[in-house]
Amino acid sequence: MESPYTRLTSALIEWHGRRGRHDLPWQNERTPYRVWISEVMLQQTQVVTVIPYYERFITRFPDVATLAEAPIDAVLHLWTGLGYYARARNLHRAAQRICAEYGGEFPVSFAALVSLPGIGRSTAGAILALSRGEPIPILDGNVKRVLTRFFGVTGPPTDAAANKRLWQLAERCTPQEDVAVYTQAIMDLGATVCVRRKPLCDFCPLGEGCVARRTGRQHEIPAPRPMRARRSRQVFMLVAVREDRAVLLERRPDSGVWGGLWCLPEFDTLSAARIFADQSLQRTNEEPQALEMVQHSFTHFDLIISPLLTRCSGPAAVMDENQSLWYNTHEPARIGMPAPIKTLLDRLADPTLFDAPATGRLES
């Protein structure tokens, strides 16, 4: 009698021929490098968002050597808007290690791959399964959801015991042959049929054997993550604009939110922003002018940015060239920048902004 593992595997492989995705840009030439780039981009991000980013990235960095040699700013520039910027920094660091330690040859052993920055067990499995057909399991978010429902695994997927069980199931379901097709199929099913809300069970090739469907618990499995209270944080950002409309940007530290990206100088309080403007800039307007607030949502908190427009003729003190730059909004430098900062700078194209009288005195 066929085991539930082989039943799942063969149903998925058969389904993929009919309904799976066959025309994604990273499916054209499945080298380990290309699979790596696509898998990292697809972490926490949907296919439709990733496609244009992937195409631009591969055109600019067609191989690991080009990526390793590029300045980090060029890499972050092509990542602008994709979020989770640690992924881009890790790609760059890993490419440099591949060039230094493997002579630029992409490593194809599991142990070597998981030793590289940003490559975990599932990404290493995906690289080897999809580009080389090696029977190594993967367990990304989509695969977890399918296996959890099909086998009726209880407990939040973040729970260590549930996670261990899911890896065991993933191993058992991964076939010795047709691994690339199976791997793509289970990812596709999770992304298009066994979706988080309202799974399309009537169209699912796994419907018959699925525990969640049989017991009507599709909406309880996987168990939702415990809700965390959502925080919000307010910051002040100085939009220091020179007469030629260049804007002062600072590079953020590598760790933390927007690590390594170029951003407006940020302050926790209005008075700290004022002190910086007074001491570090040759200001030409009397009072910073409050611009419309910008809100940006991260996974666990909302950032509320209060921008303060300050006109100046330049810095009042020497600034570190590696950590600060005057950004020409007419000829933008190719640097990485958080999406809300880009939005804010795009607003500076409005000439009436500079004709508007300064707002009343701001309260600290």
Q: Residue 83 or residue 141: which is nearer to ligand SF4 going by CB?
A: 141
State CA 52 to chain mean position distance.
14
Asked whether position 193 contacts ligand SF4 by CB under 6 A, the answer is yes
State the burial class of residue 9 (Cβ atoms within 10 Å of its Cβ: 0-12, 13-18, 19+). Answer: buried
45, 49, 218, 324: which one binds ligand SF4 (CB under 6 A): 218
Q: Residue 4 or residue 25: which is nearer to ligand SF4 going by CB?
A: 4
By CB under 6 A, which span of 18-26, 28-36, 41-49, 212-220 interacts with ligand SF4?
A: 212-220
The question of whether 286 is a catalytic residue gets the answer: no
State CA 87 to chain mean position distance.
6
CB contact at 8 A, 164 and 155 = no
117, 152, 175, 207: which one binds ligand SF4 (CB under 6 A): 207
What is the C-alpha separation between 78 and 334, in angstroms, rounded?
Answer: 8
What is the C-alpha separation between 203 and 201, in angstroms, rounded?
Answer: 5
State the burial class of residue 251 (Cβ atoms within 10 Å of its Cβ: 0-12, 13-18, 19+). Answer: buried
Please identify which of the residues 14, 39, 208, 363 carries the catalytic annotation: 39
Nearest distance in Å: CB 60, ligand SF4:
38
213, 251, 252, 311: which one binds ligand SF4 (CB under 6 A): 213
Q: Residue 117 or residue 207: which is nearer to ligand SF4 going by CB?
A: 207
What is the C-alpha separation between 339 and 346, in angstroms, rounded?
Answer: 10
Nearest distance in Å: CB 207, ligand SF4:
4
Neighbours of 165 (CB within 10 A): 17
Q: Residue 42 or residue 204: which is nearer to ligand SF4 going by CB?
A: 204
Q: Residue 310 in 3-state DSSP?
A: strand
What is the C-alpha separation between 269 and 132, in angstroms, rounded?
Answer: 54
71: its two tokens: 């300045």
Nearest distance in Å: CB 299, ligand SF4:
25
Q: Annotate each residue in 140-179 with x if it binds ligand SF4 (CB under 6 A) or - if it does not, as one string.
A: ------x--xx-----------------------------
**Residues engaged in binding ligand SF4 (CB under 6 A):** 146, 149-150, 193-194, 199-201, 204, 206-207, 210, 212-213, 218
Q: Tell me which residues are annotated as active site.
A: 39
